[in-house]
Homo-oligomer: A and B are copies of this chain.
Amino acid sequence: MMQANGQATTTSVNMMAKDGVPPIGGSTKKHRQLVYKTATPVVFILFLLAIWQLGVRLLNTPKYLLPAPSDIWRAALKGFPDLLQAAGNTFAAALLGFLLSVLLGTAVALLMMASKWIRWGIQPYAVVLQTIPVVAIAPLVVIWLGPGMNSIVFISLIVAIFPIISNTNLGLSSTDRNLVQLMRMYKSGTWTTVWKLRFPYALPYMLGGMKISSGMAVIGAIIGEFVAGIGGGKGGLGMAITSAAVQMQTSFLFACTIAASLLGMAFYLSVAAISHFTLRHWHESAIGSDKD
């Protein structure tokens, strides 16, 4: 044994020492990790933006094709109130569409779990919801719901619902067989089993589906504006994007696009936070000390 007995290094101290931070305790480590976790994406995006800016300047890419980040920034500042209003309108529609898709999607998946006839009957068709080209049904939607908000929310819902249904279904049907039998032992009814067992078991899957849907709801709202118009209301990002494209305001077009992406990201991060919060006590994906 090379290491002298007197040497008072502990395993955890070793850990700390390696990273060059004094061994104050576990909370420091956690705190430091949080800093890294937040800083990394920021550094990453700054790095990307720098490359973009440089590339565009060096290659002399015309602005109408690919504006530099600085151009986009200027355009965004100039049209800021419009951008904000457009983003706000899209946000409202996307949020409603997303919430409805979560509610309805979960309900459909639960129904499919509860009755095999429903499951067999509609399983193959649920996918149709997301493969219908929205343009085709838009006239019907607009005629039923009128142009504007209602239709946009509905289209956002249509676009965003399938991942919820599909993942919830997967989760519900992945439930541990032994726990199902346990519930059966206690003569739990179908619905009780679903609520007390299958639903919580499926939660990580559902939340995964919601992560996917969150971005899709935003894009759904934008597509909704393309196909269903804005009615009498103020337009959202969909209108701004179309209009900017036709007017060749490429920088503003990118500003709108980035606003759309930020909106999607905000949705996503909210769902991710909810997911982490909900699962932190028990699910591997949220405990994750092994991976972070």
Contacts and interface: CB of A to CB of B under 8 A. Distances in A.
Given A41-B121, A44-B122, A133 B257 contact: yes
Contacts of A132: 219, 257, 260-261
Nearest to A218: B131
A147 interface: no
Contacts of A117: 40
Contacts of A41: 120-125
| Most B C-beta atoms less than 10 A away, residue of A128, A143, A265 | A128
Interface stretch (A19-27, A96-104, A159-167): A159-167
A151 to B, nearest CB: 15
A229 interface: no
B135 A180 contact: no
Interface of A: 36-37, 40-41, 43-45, 65-66, 113, 116-117, 120-125, 127-128, 130-133, 135-137, 139-140, 143, 162-163, 166-167, 170, 173-177, 180-181, 204-205, 208-209, 211-212, 214-216, 218-219, 222-223, 226, 237-238, 241-242, 245, 250, 253-254, 256-257, 260-261, 263-265, 268-269, 283-285, 287-288, 290-292
20 contacts: A41-B122, A44-B121, A66-B140, A127-B264, A128-B215, A130-B264, A135-B242, A136-B241, A136-B253, A136-B256, A136-B257, A137-B257, A139-B245, A170-B208, A170-B285, A173-B285, A173-B288, A174-B283, A174-B284, A181-B290
Given A65-B140, A127-B211, A205-B205, 9 more contacts: A116-B291, A116-B292, A124-B265, A127-B265, A133-B256, A135-B241, A137-B257, A170-B285, A174-B284
